[in-house]
Structure 1
Amino acid sequence: MPLPRTLRRFRRSTIRRTGWAALAVVVVSVLWVNGFHNIGTANGAGNEQCVSQPVQADPVAPVLPQVTSAELPEPRSITGPTTAYTQTAAINPVTDAATAVQQLPTTFTSSDGAATTVTDTTRILAINQNGGLAAAVIGLGFGCNLIGRDTATDITKLMPGNQQLPLVTQNGHELNAESILQLAPTVVVTDASIGPYDVQLQLRQAGIPVVMVPIAYEDGVDGVAPQIQFVANALGVPALGEKLSERTQAEIGTTIQQLGTMAPTDPDKKPRVVFLYLRGSVYYWFGAGSGADSIIQSIGARDVATEVGFAGMSPTNAEALVRAAPDVIIVMTLGLASVGGIDEAVQLPGIGQTPAGANKRIVDMSDYEVMSFGPRTASVLAALGTAIYAPDLAYVPEADPAASTGTGE
């Protein structure tokens, strides 16, 4: 999850746009002549061989340790690092007959202000920085219509039994127009966390409906349901959007309630938590409005950034971090690896001088899960909450995936 792109979004530059648009039109025309417009009748993630997960209409919250705060050590006294793992990555759809209730065409306004009409969802490309859009598509019952992926999406885990989909990004989260056009999508579902925006415009100018979805992370947990509903409306299944949103919200609510029994009730005993984005020798603090604040508050911990009035996502200095005095630091797994691991992380300026650094109390979680904000949000909260309050009871997979948490190529 490269931070600079998250921070900057994308400036809608017009440089070279006309030339690239012309090239895109030429490529699409060639593909059309060769018959790609007939490919749309095939099921995406493959076709008839696609394996979908069992339908799950009702909420099923992740399993948490059946313990209360009275049975656990004070979180601020716990020492040592913990990796937070979700128990499963698979997403169960709310239906296996989405097209039976689908109403196309749909016409609406994308988040960038463009009027968009979707007429065909047989070949869907859902791409953004954290994989949340593809997760929503799968949850709505269109997983087998997906034809490509972003770096954060691993279809072999989200829909076990299927082969990996082609990657359409390069250099992390940079869209590759040629790769996308070769897949001949009938609709592209994306947002401003990935780009460049010029590529998204090129696809539109080539005649492909591009659905720009509002960014969800700024609203954190509260932004999950609206994002799901927006995607559902775009795909012509608003009723399924309501079902998936309600299921997801119910799972989140139950998880927050259960974590509340594991967290101390006394505010002074709750762990003080910060979320840092590490890359090499640089670290950024994720503050209020970054989405990290919502995660920390949802697991019943004290969000230090909000308490001190730190907003957004930006570099911080050692002095500010020392003054914040966090008991726990949450980081992304690949970010932690980029600095050389726990021992090296606590040597970064300021971190070693905090209670978290002194106790090596760093909790890491997959870059592609921790802020995904989609149908799996409850699982993310459950994993983080358990790692902070009951690390000895936290789920650890038999084959530790810590060394290979990414799906990028």
Structure 2
Amino acid sequence: MLSRRTLLLASPLLFCAPPLRAETTRRIVSVGGAVTEILYRLGYAGDIVGVDSTSLHPADALKTKANVGYVRALGAEGVLSLNPSLVVASEGAGPPDALKLIEQAGVPIVRVPDEPSPAGIVKRVAVIAQALGASGQGLALVKEIEASFAGLSEARAGVKRATRTLFVLSLQNGRPLVGGQGTTADAMLALAGATNAASSLSGWKPLSDEGLIAAAPEAIVMMNHGPGGAAYDPFAYPAFAATPAAEGRRLVVMDSLYLLGFGPRTPEAARDLMAALHPDQIAQAKR
């Protein structure tokens, strides 16, 4: 279990999150779905003036805040037009030139680590809370997240036979793009007590028909709306139909940010995935 002192030990210098001067009113641009979730959970929704297109939760974010574009394709002019006093951005945000222009305009940027792990989530909370001077709210959220992960660990102990699972990000020219080692998909499958059928691969890689059949997944996991658009029926393709997963049409489709965002809701997402992949072993995913 993670130490609840993690937030107190998270140095602003270590995580490149300089403490900000006190301001009567902050104007925050939030970049990254998990970053936005954390800001809302810390109580800073009212200070946010803009979010990126991956900020899908809470739904209120994209409905009431200006959309500054995709997390990796930001435009400096669009961000600066909101007259922000602070940009809080996930590590993968970009392009670098746009972020440089924003900083040159005098707007500080807090960069939030992207590590897809329980410790990584705590670091995200620590960096954001430190930058905003919200240590009390940050510690409370860390405590809640740690308790949820502890409960997840207890539930995962009930999985005696891990389901061999393939995470499909999208379908490109009839070939699935799957999550191998080092991906957020691999990390989520591990949290859910599953075995990654693509563990022989590293990163996101396309899989041939022969490779898919050889991987022999017992279940397929997809997002409800990924890079290739809305989820499709994989078993309509011959190679998928030849896998063990097709026998029981074992397909799990979940919300993209909930599944791969690695934010405050990740323990609950892992519980839901674990219950869907191991219904005979995990009767009910109780939070």
TM-score normalised to structure 2 length: 0.82
- Deviations along 1:1-47, one digit per CA (max 9) or x if unpaired, are xxxxxxxxxxxxxxxxxxxxxxxxxxxxxxxxxxxxxxxxxxxxxxx
Higher relative contact order, structure no. (Cα contacts within 8 Å, ≥ 6 residues apart): 1
- Deviations along 1:132-165, one digit per CA (max 9) or x if unpaired, are 0111112222122111112122465368xx9521
Q: Which residue of structure 1 aligns with residue 81 of structure 2?
A: 182
Alignment of 1:57-96 (within 5 A): none
Q: Which residue of structure 2 aligns with residue 135 of structure 1?
A: 37
Alignment of 1:2-401 (within 5 A): 108=13, 116=18, 118-119=20-21, 120=23, 122-128=26-32, 131-154=33-56, 157=59, 164-169=64-69, 173-217=72-116, 220-261=117-158, 263=159, 265=160, 267=161, 270-281=162-173, 282-306=175-199, 309-335=200-226, 338=229, 341-342=232-233, 345-348=234-237, 350-390=239-279
For residues 195 and 314 of structure 1, do their structure 2 counterparts lie closer, same or farther at Cα, with a shift above 3 Å needed? same
Q: Larger % of strand: which?
A: 2
User: Is contact 2:49–2:66 with CA below 8 Å preserved after alignment?
Assistant: yes
- Deviations along 1:101-130, one digit per CA (max 9) or x if unpaired, are xxxxx964665xxx85522471111112xx
For residues 279 and 147 of structure 1, do their structure 2 counterparts lie closer, same or farther at Cα, with a shift above 3 Å needed? farther
Q: Tell me the number of residue pairs that the alignment of Structure 1 and Structure 2 aligns.
A: 271
User: Is contact 1:221–1:291 with CA below 8 Å preserved after alignment?
Assistant: no
Deviation at 1:193, TM superposition (A): 2.5
For residues 279 and 168 of structure 1, do their structure 2 counterparts lie closer, same or farther at Cα, with a shift above 3 Å needed? farther
What is the SS of the residue equivalent to 1:305? coil
Q: Unaligned stretches of 5+ in structure 2?
A: 1-10
Q: Which residue of structure 2 aligns with residue 60 of structure 1?
A: none
For residues 198 and 153 of structure 1, the distance between their equivalents in structure 2, rounded to whole angstroms, comes to: 22
- Deviations along 1:288-327, one digit per CA (max 9) or x if unpaired, are 2212222212222223333xx3222222222222211110
For residues 336 and 239 of structure 1, do their structure 2 counterparts lie closer, same or farther at Cα, with a shift above 3 Å needed? closer
For residues 89 and 123 of structure 2, the distance between their equivalents in structure 1, rounded to whole angstroms, comes to: 15
Deviation at 1:331, TM superposition (A): 1.0
For residues 201 and 232 of structure 1, the distance between their equivalents in structure 2, rounded to whole angstroms, comes to: 23
For residues 241 and 290 of structure 1, do their structure 2 counterparts lie closer, same or farther at Cα, with a shift above 3 Å needed? same
What is the SS of the residue equivalent to 1:240? helix
Q: Which residue of structure 2 aligns with residue 99 of structure 1?
A: none
User: Is contact 2:145–2:267 with CA below 8 Å preserved after alignment?
Assistant: yes
For residues 210 and 237 of structure 2, the distance between their equivalents in structure 1, rounded to whole angstroms, comes to: 12
For residues 304 and 195 of structure 1, the distance between their equivalents in structure 2, rounded to whole angstroms, comes to: 32
TM-score normalised to structure 1 length: 0.59
Q: CA RMSD in A?
A: 3.0
For residues 189 and 236 of structure 1, the distance between their equivalents in structure 2, rounded to whole angstroms, comes to: 14
For residues 144 and 388 of structure 1, the distance between their equivalents in structure 2, rounded to whole angstroms, comes to: 38
AA in 2 matched with 1:319: E
Task: Decide which structure has the larger Cα Rg and report it.
Answer: 1
Q: Unaligned stretches of 5+ in structure 1?
A: 1-105, 396-409
User: Is contact 1:123–1:184 with CA below 8 Å preserved after alignment?
Assistant: yes
For residues 167 and 138 of structure 1, the distance between their equivalents in structure 2, rounded to whole angstroms, comes to: 16
- Deviations along 1:242-301, one digit per CA (max 9) or x if unpaired, are 33122112112213323443x3x2x3xx31112111144342221222122222122222
Deviation at 1:358, TM superposition (A): 4.1
User: Is contact 1:275–1:330 with CA below 8 Å preserved after alignment?
Assistant: yes
